[in-house]
């Protein structure tokens, strides 16, 4: 098997003028990039890295906005034999100070030797990289100015050509709100094993066209929406995630124009597009070329698929194009795939048995008629749950369901999902402690809960308190820390958790915080209006959390002392408080 650089060389030599990527922009024409142009640009970055004495095996961080430089810089790092890692670009939602601290913490663990970034972001990187291992901060414009055009790529001078298959080829980072992120180290071998197995699961063929808006710092965007099409010679149509958020109809226009066949989205995007896309923006749009719109990255819901189909069926979207997948960076990407050769399975189960006994008990044969999950009356019975299958494990990937003692559970019993494959992570980069904790006798413990039924995997939730909002991982302790900084909040008495919002198709974050009114009154003598104080505190929590994290917080409930429930060890019990909140308040 060839390594990544060797495969790129083969693609370059065999079909240099074939278009590899169509880059889409909101205010300029689409840009078609051939394999020749892609490799020429990548070779320029490899040359600059070599001149900067960045060696093979060293980590290079990329913080670049949507565009050709992000693509060529990524491949250029690999051509140099170094390890690329794409990080999120600074957005308006996150203060530069918080972002800088997060970068500095990550630099301390990952120990990158170089950062490639846009000129406007050089200052932020310089501040974040002080006292770290970073030896070179490279501007994308500087690369273009320093190195003349390359007419032919001299592969013999590219150090990545001799990288062993077991070497780390890239790092994928989780998308947490603040704090240190875990770098998932993946080898050349693992990446290619994934691409081969997943291609077969997708029935990938030369007629396919992949259309994506997903950010490349996320495993779904990086693997399914970038590495897979480039390395398997499948045309890629790539737009900016920021353009998609501002005008989601552009994704559908791109699918129609380029006859897209495959597209991946997190569950919230199904709701978002159905609600935000107006029919006047879809004139002439034809979605009949789509053979799979794959729901991935966060819990999947039948109602979201139904909403998406109802809105876009008139434009040629077929019900059998709705697909699902369970994926994670630790397996490169896909663990399972469903909905390619047959409709996604819907498991209608008894709600009481599921909640009380953690058993997915089928409710009866009348719910198993073909395509019943598309009927509008499916959800009228409040005593049943509609569980969308994530599909079956892809080739060379095995899945088990384990109890708390690590013992296999019977079919339809809910437990922790464990996986083993030939494309698993090498480890968490420079974190052997986390790597050892995540592995059990060669099996990766995902931390997710689910069950198996007739060979299909159903993902039911998360073992830990992780909140997923719009495909992003939100760590409740980070939000609780930010909220606790507000004056008047009782120390250690804040709980953050997620509540699913059927309208948006993703989770809303809720923060419940106790106020020490006695101390607040002492600090603000003469202020006796408790209602005014409560509203002021809630507003400050929203502002502080929104500024200091990557979410826009809406739901804050300020309560009296001793409202929050704690565990026997004195910790705030998030799950118990979530249930108490749902029982006492109207919900979100």
Helix, strand, coil shares of the chain, percent, nearest 5, are 40, 25, 35
Residue 378: the pLDDT is 42
First to last CA, the chain: 52
Residue 148: the pLDDT is 63
| CA–CA dist 377, 382 (Å, integer) | 11
- Looking at 2.60.40.420, 3.40.50.12780, 1.10.10.10, 3.40.190.10, the CATH number of the domain 4-320 comes to 3.40.50.12780
Residue 495: the pLDDT is 92
The residues, ordered by sequence, that sit 6+ positions from 212 with a Cβ below 8 Å of its Cβ are 221, 224, 225, 226, 236, 237, 238, 239, 263, 264
Query: Is the per-residue pLDDT at 377 higher than 80?
Result: no
Query: Which of 233, 236, 302 has its CA nearest to residue 264?
Result: 236
Query: Is the per-residue pLDDT at 353 higher than 60?
Result: yes
Q: Which of these ranges, 40-49, 114-123, 488-497, has the smallest mean pLDDT?
A: 488-497
Q: 136-139 and 114-117 as β-strands: parallel, antiparallel, unpaired?
A: parallel
Query: Is the per-residue pLDDT at 510 higher than 90?
Result: yes
pLDDT tens, residue by residue, 112-170? 999 999 988 888 788 777 778 899 999 998 887 766 666 788 888 999 999 999 999 99
Q: What is the mean pLDDT of residues 511-517?
A: 87
Say which CATH class 348-390+397-462 falls into: mainly beta
1 confidence band (pLDDT: 50, 70, 90): confident
pLDDT tens, residue by residue, 283-315? 999 999 999 999 998 778 898 899 999 999 999
Residue carrying structure tokens 């820390």: 481
The residues, ordered by sequence, that sit 6+ positions from 281 with a Cβ below 8 Å of its Cβ are 247, 249, 253
The residues, ordered by sequence, that sit 6+ positions from 142 with a Cβ below 8 Å of its Cβ are 48, 119
- Six token digits for residue 565: 């429930």
Query: Is the per-residue pLDDT at 179 higher than 70?
Result: no
Task: Tell me the average pLDDT of the chain.
Answer: 88
Residue 476: the pLDDT is 81
Q: What is the full DSSP assignment across 296-340?
A: -SS---HHHHHHHHHHHGGGT--GGGEEEEEE-GGGSSEEEEESS
Burial class (CB in 10 A: 0-12, 13-18, 19+), 504: middle
* Phi/psi at 83 (5° precision): -115, 110
Q: What is the mean pLDDT of residues 354-382?
A: 61
Residue 521: the pLDDT is 59
Neighbour tally for 436: CB within 10 Å: 11
Q: Which of these ranges, 41-50, 341-350, 487-496, has the smallest mean pLDDT?
A: 487-496
* Phi/psi at 340 (5° precision): -85, -55
Residue carrying structure tokens 């013992």: 407
Query: Which of 12, 74, 19, 3 has its CA nearest to residue 40?
Result: 12
23 confidence band (pLDDT: 50, 70, 90): very high
Q: What is the 3-state secondary structure (H, E, C) of 161-208?
A: HHCCCCCEEEEEECCCCCCCCCEEEEEHHHHHHHHHHHHHHHCCCCCC
Q: What is the full DSSP assignment across 76-127?
A: HHHHTT-EEEE-PPP-TTS-HHHHHHHHHHHHHHH--SEEEE-GGGHHHHHH
| CA–CA dist 105, 114 (Å, integer) | 15
- Six token digits for residue 192: 């290619």
| CA–CA dist 186, 91 (Å, integer) | 27
pLDDT tens, residue by residue, 325-336? 999 999 999 999
Q: Considering all CA atoms of the chain, what is the largest pairwise distance in Å, rounded to the nearest integer?
A: 80
Query: Is the per-residue pLDDT at 568 higher than 50?
Result: no
Query: Is the per-residue pLDDT at 88 higher than 60?
Result: yes
Q: What is the mean pLDDT of residues 442-458?
A: 95
Residue 526: the pLDDT is 52
Percent of the chain with pLDDT over 70: 89
Residue 336: the pLDDT is 98
Distance of CA 226 to the CA centre of its chain: 14
What's the Cα-to-Cα distance from 423 to each of 186, 202, 332, 335, rounded to whole Å? 8, 17, 6, 10
Query: Is the per-residue pLDDT at 7 higher than 70?
Result: yes
Q: What's the alpha-carbon Rg for the chain, to the nearest Å?
A: 25
> What 3-state DSSP class applies to 455?
coil
Query: Is the per-residue pLDDT at 97 higher than 60?
Result: yes
Residue 373: the pLDDT is 44
Query: Is the per-residue pLDDT at 89 higher than 90?
Result: no
Q: Provide the residue ranges of all domains of the chain, joining segments of one domain with +.
A: 4-320, 348-390+397-462, 467-584
Query: Is the per-residue pLDDT at 374 higher than 60?
Result: no
> Is 0.75 surpassed by the pTM of this model?
yes
Cα angle for residues 11, 335, 342 (degrees, 5° grid): 90
Contact between residue 277 and residue 311 where contact means Cβ atoms under 8 Å apart: yes
The fold of 467-584 is: GMP Synthetase; Chain A, domain 3 (3.30.300)
Residue 370: the pLDDT is 41
Query: Is the per-residue pLDDT at 528 higher than 60?
Result: no
> What 3-state DSSP class applies to 543?
helix
- Six token digits for residue 91: 């957005």
Q: What is the mean pLDDT of residues 411-421?
A: 96
């Amino acid at each position: 098997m060839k390594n990544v650089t060797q495969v790129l060389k083969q693609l370059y030599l065999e079909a240099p003028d074939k278009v590899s990527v169509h880059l889409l922009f909101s205010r300029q024409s689409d840009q078609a990039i051939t394999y020749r142009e892609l490799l020429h640009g990548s070779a320029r970055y490899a040359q600059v890295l070599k001149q900067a004495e960045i060696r093979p095996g060293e980590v290079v961080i990329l913080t670049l906005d949507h565009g050709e430089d992000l693509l060529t810089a990524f491949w250029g790092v690999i051509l140099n034999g170094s390890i690329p890692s794409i990080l999120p670009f600074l957005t308006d939602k996150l203060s530069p100070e918080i972002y800088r601290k997060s970068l500095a913490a990550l630099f301390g663990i990952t120990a990158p030797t170089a950062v490639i970034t846009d000129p406007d972001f050089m200052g932020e990187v310089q501040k974040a990289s002080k006292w770290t291992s970073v030896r070179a901060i490279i501007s994308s414009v500087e690369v273009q100015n320093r190195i003349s055009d390359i007419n032919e790529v001299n592969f013999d001078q590219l150090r990545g050509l001799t990288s062993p298959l077991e070497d780390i080829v890239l790092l994928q980072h989780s998308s947490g709100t603040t704090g240190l992120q875990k770098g998932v180290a993946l080898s050349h071998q693992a990446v290619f094993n994934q691409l081969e197995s997943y291609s077969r699961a997708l029935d990938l063929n030369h007629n396919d066209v992949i259309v994506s808006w997903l950010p490349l710092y996320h495993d779904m965007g990086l693997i399914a929406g970038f590495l897979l099409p480039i390395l398997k010679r499948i045309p890629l149509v790539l737009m900016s995630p920021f353009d998609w958020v501002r005008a989601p109809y552009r994704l559908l226009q791109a699918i129609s124009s380029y006859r897209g066949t495959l597209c991946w989205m997190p569950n919230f995007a199904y709701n978002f597009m159905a609600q935000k896309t107006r029919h006047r923006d879809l004139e002439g749009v034809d979605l009949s070329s789509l053979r799979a719109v794959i729901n991935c990255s966060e819990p999947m819901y039948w109602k979201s698929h139904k909403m998406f189909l109802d809105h876009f069926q008139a434009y040629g979207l077929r019900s059998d194009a709705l697909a699902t997948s369970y994926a994670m960076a630790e397996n490169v990407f896909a663990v399972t795939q469903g909905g390619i050769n047959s409709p996604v399975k819907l498991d209608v189960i008894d709600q009481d048995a599921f909640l009380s006994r953690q058993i997915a008990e089928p409710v009866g044969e009348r719910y198993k008629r073909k395509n019943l999950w598309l009927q509008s009356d499916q959800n009228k019975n409040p005593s049943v749950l509609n569980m969308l299958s994530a599909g079956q494990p892809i080739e060379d990937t095995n899945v088990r369901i384990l109890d708390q003692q690590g013992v296999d559970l019977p079919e339809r019993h809910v437990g922790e999902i464990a996986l083993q494959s030939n494309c698993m992570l090498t480890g968490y980069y420079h974190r052997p402690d986390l790597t050892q904790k995540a592995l059990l006798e060669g099996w990766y413990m995902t931390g997710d809960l689910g069950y198996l039924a007739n060979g299909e995997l159903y993902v039911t939730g998360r073992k830990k308190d992780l909140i997923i909002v719009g495909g992003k991982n939100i760590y409740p302790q980070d939000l609780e820390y930010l909220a606790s900084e507000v004056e008047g909040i009782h120390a250690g008495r804040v709980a953050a958790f997620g509540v699913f919002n059927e309208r948006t198709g993703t989770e809303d974050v809720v923060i419940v915080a106790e106020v020490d009114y006695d101390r607040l009154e002492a600090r603000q003598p003469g202020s006796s209006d408790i209602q005014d104080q409560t509203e002021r505190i809630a507003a400050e929590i929203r502002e502080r959390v929104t500024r200091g994290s990557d979410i826009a917080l809406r739901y804050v409930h300020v309560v009296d002392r001793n409202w929050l429930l704690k565990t026997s060890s004195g910790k705030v019990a998030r799950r118990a408080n979530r249930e108490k909140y749902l029982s006492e308040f109207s919900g979100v």
